[in-house]
Amino acid sequence: MSAAFTLSLDAMGGDYAPEIVLKGAALARLRYPNAHFLFFGDEALIKPLLLADKGLAAVSTIRHTDTVITGDTKPSQAIRQGRQSSMWKAIEAVKNGEAAGVVSAGNTGALMAMAKLIMRPLPGIDRPAICSLFPTKMGETVMLDLGANSQCDARNLVEFAVMGECFASAILGLERPTVGLLNIGSEEMKGTDELRKAAQILRGLHLDMEFKGFIEGDDIAMGTVDVVVTDGFTGNVALKTAEGTAKLFSTFLKMAIKSSWLAKFGMIFAKPVIAQVMARADARRYNGALFVGLNGVVVKSHGGTDAVGFANAIGVAVDMIARDLNTHIGQELARIAAEQEAVEPVELAAAGAAPQ
């Protein structure tokens, strides 16, 4: 971005906080020279790390907080007892207009609960979702929800489709993204009632997307559609299953190469391209999930990531700020609401009233 902007960082969230937060910000500063950082957390821990990097220190401010939301804190508990925490204060800085977005590697459930309470969902959004990019054969695919909502009704799935479409337009630069509903078969009769109802609604709406109907698990990696829509339970399992499988494959590969002298020799020549493949499947590259559907930019980093991964999560926040995603989503939702009111006032309401 050309104009200066400030990012709010929860310096205490994640397995290796505050070190990787500071190191990640240092990397991000080199990529985004107009960025300023607000670090929320224990000043005694953050200050020495910040002073070690003069360039970063020059664009950063520390806001001391006393408490930390741990990984095992329940969302309800975090909301009741965590109002002085680094996480809460970091989100509040966005609400107050001090920062344009917030990044945290802390407890996902707590972050979502706090963000909903402090920022509020966008008008027309029932349930904000967790959204991220996946590497595919064709390039990259947007997938949501990745874990915010275990059970979803048809209305939620339709909202996810709209938000995913806006995300794909903004981030991947697609004019008319293709959207698919994740199911266990592509036939119309497959899956749950809510999935079939969501498909029916999406077929009827006039959106800036091409709705491709149902897709299956293997379509994610194939890149069959630009946006994969699913409930938070299925999305979370699919995301982690894919990560686990990629890791398994690279482990098998490393073990196999180690087991043979001939292979080790061959690898001297093949290593650069193998390294490329590994980099392409590197989870750090896709670190940084956006909480879509909120009045503000909130990005969640993997808790166990390193500085490179955290810098990438910061990059997601920068992209979202630059492309003004939330305004885009708001406009698309308003358009749907108007269309629904004019044409079929019953349909979305009926879907929303269905049991979850």
Number of neighbours of residue 248 by Cβ within 10 angstroms: 10
Residue ranges in the chain assigned as alpha helix (H)? 19-31, 43-51, 54-58, 75-81, 86-95, 108-119, 154-172, 193-204, 217-222, 232-258, 261-280, 307-323, 325-343, 347-353
CB of 307 to a second copy, least distance (A): 22
Rounded to a whole number of angstroms, the minimum distance from the CB of residue 287 to a second copy is 15
> What DSSP element (H or E) covers 179?
strand 178-182
Between 186 and 340, name the residue whose CB sits nearer to a second copy. Answer: 186
Please identify, using beta-carbon distances, which residue of 147 and 164 lies nearer to a second copy: 147
Q: Residue 176 or residue 271: which is nearer to a second copy going by CB? A: 271
14 and 68 in contact (C-beta within 8 Å)? Answer: no
Q: What is the DSSP letter of 72?
A: T
Q: How far is the CB of 123 from a second copy (least distance, A)?
A: 28
Binding site for a second copy (CB under 8 A): 72, 74, 135-137, 147, 150-151, 182, 184, 187, 189, 191-192, 216-222, 230, 232-234, 236-253, 256-257, 259-260, 262-263, 265-274, 276-277, 280-281
Minimum Å gap between C-beta 2 and a second copy is 35
* Residue 226 beta carbon to a second copy: minimum distance, rounded to whole angstroms: 16
DSSP-derived letter for residue 125 is -
Nearer to a second copy, 34 or 192 (CB): 192
Burial category of 252 from C-beta neighbours within 10 Å (exposed 0-12, middle 13-18, buried 19 and up): exposed
Nearer to a second copy, 31 or 240 (CB): 240
CB of 190 to a second copy, least distance (A): 8
CA distance to 81, 167, 182, per residue, from 206 (Å) = 44, 17, 21
Q: Which is nearer to a second copy, 48 or 244 (CB)?
A: 244
